């Protein structure tokens, strides 16, 4: 499970947390460029979830709605398990996915509390019309004038459907980092999915208590 982060590691983590994880399969508006889709997604997230006027319960509910409407949570959860996903029975995968969603919502909705004033700015996109994948280069600009945080979005394009397949925060892949984390846990526990799910339940319970106190 993720530990506390300091310095550049925490900075990168918070950037990724603020603007979601991976695989948001959203429908593009008519003729909308991929870069505009990314900018809209980031701005909607920050404006709707950050700020002192938003309560913890509101933030959690809004993030869960955003997650369910814009993210392929089943694909996220399966990818996070790597090769171990092939061994997981359907019902257990369904339960794991629900726990993964709870963990994601509680972790990232809490992070949004400190994001008032940040702004996502798209710099450029790399790719051409008709390409299957487009990379969108962007950055988070901080209200205190600190060094911007770079985010690179790899977007899968299928007609008018856009799906972010990875986000790299200052060069570090969020998707790969999450999968490596779970792989390490499962390797140490001989592939025991029940142990991983127990750890997720414990984390969710701890986060719920913390959120209630806040």
Domains of the chain and any CATH numbers: 8-207 (3.10.450.710)
* Mean pLDDT calculated for residue range 33-48: 80
* Mean pLDDT calculated for residue range 84-90: 95
pTM above 0.85, yes or no: no
| Gap between the Cα atoms of 12 and 41, Å rounded | 19
pLDDT score, position 40? 82
| DSSP state, residue 154 | E
- In this predicted structure, which of 48-52, 70-74, 134-138, 174-178 has the lowest mean pLDDT? 48-52
* Mean pLDDT calculated for residue range 25-29: 57
| DSSP state, residue 2 | -
Q: Which of 141, 144, 152, 149 is nearest to 35 (CA)?
A: 152
Q: What percent of the chain has pLDDT over 70?
A: 78
66 against 202, higher pLDDT: 202
Q: Note whether 176 and 78 are within 8 A (CB).
A: no
| Alpha helices (H) in the chain, listed in sequence order | 7-18, 34-49, 56-70, 73-80, 90-111, 174-188, 193-213
């Amino acid at each position: 499970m993720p530990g506390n982060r300091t310095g550049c590691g925490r900075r990168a983590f918070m950037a990724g947390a603020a603007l979601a994880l991976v695989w948001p399969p959203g429908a593009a508006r008519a003729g909308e460029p991929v870069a505009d889709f990314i900018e809209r997604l980031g701005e909607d997230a920050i404006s709707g979830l950050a700020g002192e006027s938003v309560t913890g319960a509101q933030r959690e509910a809004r993030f869960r709605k955003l997650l369910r409407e814009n993210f392929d949570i089943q694909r996220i959860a399966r990818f996070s398990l790597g090769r171990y996903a092939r061994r997981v029975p359907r019902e257990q995968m369904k339960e794991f996915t629900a726990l993964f969603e709870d963990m994601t919502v509680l972790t990232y909705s809490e992070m949004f509390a400190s994001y008032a004033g940040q702004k996502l700015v798209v710099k450029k996109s790399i790719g051409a019309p008709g390409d299957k994948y487009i990379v969108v280069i962007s950055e988070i600009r901080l209200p205190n004038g600190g060094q911007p945080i770079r985010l690179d979005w790899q977007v899968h394009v299928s007609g008018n459907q856009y799906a972010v397949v990875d986000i790299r925060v200052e060069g570090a892949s969020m998707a790969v980092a999450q999968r490596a984390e779970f792989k390490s846990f499962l390797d140490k526990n001989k592939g025991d999915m029940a142990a991983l799910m127990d750890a997720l339940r414990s984390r969710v319970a701890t986060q719920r208590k913390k959120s209630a106190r806040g």
